[in-house]
Structure 1
Amino acid sequence: MFGFTSMQSKWSCHLMKSNGRPVGRLLPLLAIGLGACASLSGPPKTAEEAVNERARARWEALVAQDWEKAYSFASPAYRSAIDLNGFKLRHSGGAVVWQGVGSVDSKCGGEVCEVEVDVAFEPVVQKGFKGLSTTVNEKWLLENGQWWIQLKP
Structure 2
Amino acid sequence: MMSPGVTRIAPYSRDAGRRAAAVKMVLAGAALAFLAGCATFGAGTPEEAVTKRADERWAAWVKRDYAKAYEYNTPGYRGTVPYEKFVTMRGKDVRILSGKVNKVTCSSADRCEAKIELKARSALMMRQSFPKEIVTFIDETWVFEDGQWWLFERI
Contact 1:102 1:120 in 2 (8 A): no
AA in 1 matched with 2:132: K
Contact 1:118 1:134 in 2 (8 A): yes
CA distance in 1, matches of 2:43, 2:61: 27
Aligned to 2:115: 116
2:153 aligned counterpart, secondary structure: coil
Choose between structure 1 and 2: higher helix proportion. 2
Matched, 1:151 2:148: no
CA distance in 2, matches of 1:103, 1:54: 10
AA in 2 matched with 1:75: T
* TM-score, normalised by the number of residues in structure 1: 0.67
CA distance in 1, matches of 2:109, 2:100: 26
| Unmatched runs of 5 consecutive residues or more in structure 2 | 1-6, 8-41
Contact 2:113 2:140 in 1 (8 A): yes
AA in 2 matched with 1:87: F
Matches within 5 A, 1:4-153: 44-93=43-92, 95-108=93-106, 109-127=108-126, 128-153=130-155
Query: Cα deviation per residue 1:87-131 (whole Å; 9 max; x = unaligned)?
Result: 1111241x4210012343101122100100101111221215224
CA distance in 2, matches of 1:61, 1:46: 23
2:154 aligned counterpart, secondary structure: coil
1:125 aligned counterpart, secondary structure: helix
Query: Cα deviation per residue 1:9-35 (whole Å; 9 max; x = unaligned)?
Result: xxxxxxxxxxxxxxxxxxxxxxxxxxx
Q: What is the percentage of aligned positions where both structures have the same residue?
A: 29
CA distance in 2, matches of 1:146, 1:47: 10
The alpha-carbon deviation at position 44 of structure 1 amounts to: 5.0
The alpha-carbon deviation at position 62 of structure 1 amounts to: 1.0
Larger Rg: 2
Count of equivalent residues: 112
Choose between structure 1 and 2: higher strand proportion. 1
1:126 aligned counterpart, secondary structure: helix
AA in 2 matched with 1:72: E
| Unmatched runs of 5 consecutive residues or more in structure 1 | 1-7, 9-42
The alpha-carbon deviation at position 58 of structure 1 amounts to: 0.6
CA distance in 2, matches of 1:102, 1:67: 17
Moved more, 83-92 or 56-65: 83-92
CA distance in 1, matches of 2:133, 2:112: 28
AA in 1 matched with 2:99: V
> Structure 2 vs 1, CA of residues 44 and 66 (structure 1 numbering), >3 Å: closer, same or farther?
closer
